[in-house]
Chains A and B, each alone.
Chain A
């Protein structure tokens, strides 16, 4: 993985957390107490109602990054990453089956798949191109970037990398491992893009990190997708160097961040 890492350009970013509706708000450090739930900006009206909070958060950061990059919703490729995916929907199904002894909701079952957001965003954008949905625990941000590198190289197209995990389900996850919701996104393009470049990336790589992650609460920092938010933060604040993408909880993948 470390041999001649392929260079890409970042042309858009997106952020959503409770109290933080977008990347500009994240950069400013101002928390808006009215921001409690994601909107689902990349979705059509009918599917917005059906979508989980997790899928809405993914679609919000997707839509924000896409708009900044000026990419086309009908053709852009998308890589969605999540460690837990629709864990909340899965627990709802398990409650219906085992607690209520009832038949599960057909809509909840259809929306329980890890790629629910991927499908909903492709429907919302009328996009018949490439989309995928991946998971790799705390390495999800790094592996989503690796998948995007392959797609960018193969198709010479912008790729939205959007990662999210909703708050850890308290019935299943031990208290010391629980975290709050985080969603972040990047648009990655071939290095020779004519669009305005916010930063350039090489990797993921196994190297020693030279720059640290963003300031965040312990509950936010434990989210498996925090590494992508760290990367957005580094891009916004002009931090350049080797950034670790797993907060020390994964295999140690880093990405090299340089000027645009």
Chain B
């Protein structure tokens, strides 16, 4: 049945994470099945070992009016805005600056900067002179940098729903454009590494001390990563790169930090994405799973996928490439999906061999080349928050 909800053209995207500082480098790493995970830097002062997906590429130096907003996350999002290139200027000219929204997601915002400042406060009794809470910690600080750098003045907010944070802005943008509130939006998200996040997942017993190997019988948990991605969506476009076809959101209504054992919420989100796009399960040619590499998540997600899509659609997890970038994961992995559509390959699911025998989904451990018309990307989060994003080729 055709959808009553128009698909949205995607006209530009940018990405930076442990795989590279731009889309071409990230595509090369995915094509080669090359992981960006490395042992965690001692600078984090952890009492345990783990691997991380650290971003070591360039960031933008913020000066002038934005100098006081300069933090690692702000400098990274500024780079991502710049990497969107002339499409932003064109969108601003076409729609008007006040008709272009900035809808982003993060789980950390400026927590990396605040953690260092608070550590200094504990040691010395005072915050560092240069620390500025409202310009360096808050969610609005990142929004200000993106809006200013892009020269847009439409609605701007940060979704913070843990690991679904940067997928949900895609849904928000689709709704706002459909309601006539805006005509275009810069959507995406960004997160940076910090001790608090690494220690937190370690205390939950969810952190792997080795490289993350989702879907493997030997998997031992998550590696945390950092990075970000931005996607420009517009009401219409002459030469779109791809389409945002449907988004499905759901709640588990089950547990604050554990997935529903039958994958009920996950399945609902995927079904709703199909419904919104007017698609059938067989219309989906590749699924980028949430695939954190924890014992519980991968089996439950595989079960939900198989119930809805069967066992013929290739399912991979990107967490073995760049780690779990948390609040940036949804946007980064949506861009991985766009790269699959653009370049015609499904990357291997790194480390999945030997596959957990309870994982019935088709998990390729070798790259699959071909033409892929639709990719579904899943993100699931604390609080039982689920989203599935369906992307289509032009």
The residues of A with any CB-CB pair to B shorter than 8 Å are 1-6, 47, 50, 83-85, 90-91, 93-95, 97-99, 103-106, 109-116, 118-120, 122-123, 125-140, 143-144, 146-147, 149-151, 153-154, 171-174, 177, 204, 206, 251
Q: Collect the chain A residues with CB atoms within 8 Å of residue B122's CB.
A: 95, 98-99
Query: Cβ of B156 and Cβ of A6 under 8 Å apart?
Result: no
0/1 string, B89-114, CB within 8 A of A gives 1: 00000000011000000010101001
Number of CB contacts from chain A to chain B under 8 A: 206
Taking CB as reference atom, which chain A residue is nearest B383? Answer: A119
Query: Cβ of A172 and Cβ of B118 under 8 Å apart?
Result: yes
From A127, A131, A133, A206, contact of B160 by CB (8 A): A133
Query: Cβ of B180 and Cβ of A94 under 8 Å apart?
Result: no
Taking CB as reference atom, which chain B residue is nearest A103? Answer: B203
Say whether, besides A104-B200, A172-B127, A1 and B182 are in contact (CB < 8 Å). Answer: yes
* Alpha-carbon gap, A3 to B183, bound state (A): 11
Query: Cβ of B98 and Cβ of A98 under 8 Å apart?
Result: no
B154 interface residue (CB < 8 Å to A): yes
List 21 A-B residue pairs with CB atoms under 8 Å apart, sorted by A's residue number. Answer: A5-B181, A90-B196, A91-B118, A94-B119, A104-B199, A105-B203, A112-B200, A113-B162, A115-B162, A116-B383, A119-B383, A119-B385, A130-B251, A134-B158, A136-B143, A146-B176, A147-B172, A149-B176, A149-B179, A154-B175, A177-B133
* Alpha-carbon gap, A3 to B180, bound state (A): 8
Taking CB as reference atom, which chain A residue is nearest B196? Answer: A93
How many interface residues does B have (CB within 8 Å)?
A: 67
Query: Cβ of A83 and Cβ of B139 under 8 Å apart?
Result: yes
Query: Cβ of B140 and Cβ of A103 under 8 Å apart?
Result: no
Q: Collect the chain B residues with CB atoms within 8 Å of residue A137's CB.
A: 134, 138-141, 143
Query: Cβ of B178 and Cβ of A115 under 8 Å apart?
Result: no
Question: Which of B50-58, B252-260, B335-343 binds A?
Answer: B252-260
Taking CB as reference atom, which chain B residue is nearest A112? Answer: B200
Query: Cβ of B180 and Cβ of A4 under 8 Å apart?
Result: yes
Query: Cβ of A115 and Cβ of B382 under 8 Å apart?
Result: yes
* Alpha-carbon gap, A47 to B253, bound state (A): 12
B1 interface residue (CB < 8 Å to A): no
Query: Cβ of A97 and Cβ of B160 under 8 Å apart?
Result: no
Query: Cβ of B156 and Cβ of A110 under 8 Å apart?
Result: no
Q: Collect the chain A residues with CB atoms within 8 Å of residue B161's CB.
A: 113-115, 118, 132-133
Query: Cβ of A113 and Cβ of B382 under 8 Å apart?
Result: yes
* Alpha-carbon gap, A171 to B204, bound state (A): 27
B371 interface residue (CB < 8 Å to A): no
Taking CB as reference atom, which chain A residue is nearest B134? Answer: A177
Query: Cβ of B383 and Cβ of A139 under 8 Å apart?
Result: no
Q: Which 3 A-B pairs have the closest CB atoms?
A: A119-B383, A137-B140, A150-B175
Query: Cβ of A50 and Cβ of B256 under 8 Å apart?
Result: yes
B214 interface residue (CB < 8 Å to A): no
B21 interface residue (CB < 8 Å to A): no
Q: Collect the chain B residues with CB atoms within 8 Å of residue A140's CB.
A: 157
Query: Cβ of A139 and Cβ of B160 under 8 Å apart?
Result: no
B186 interface residue (CB < 8 Å to A): no
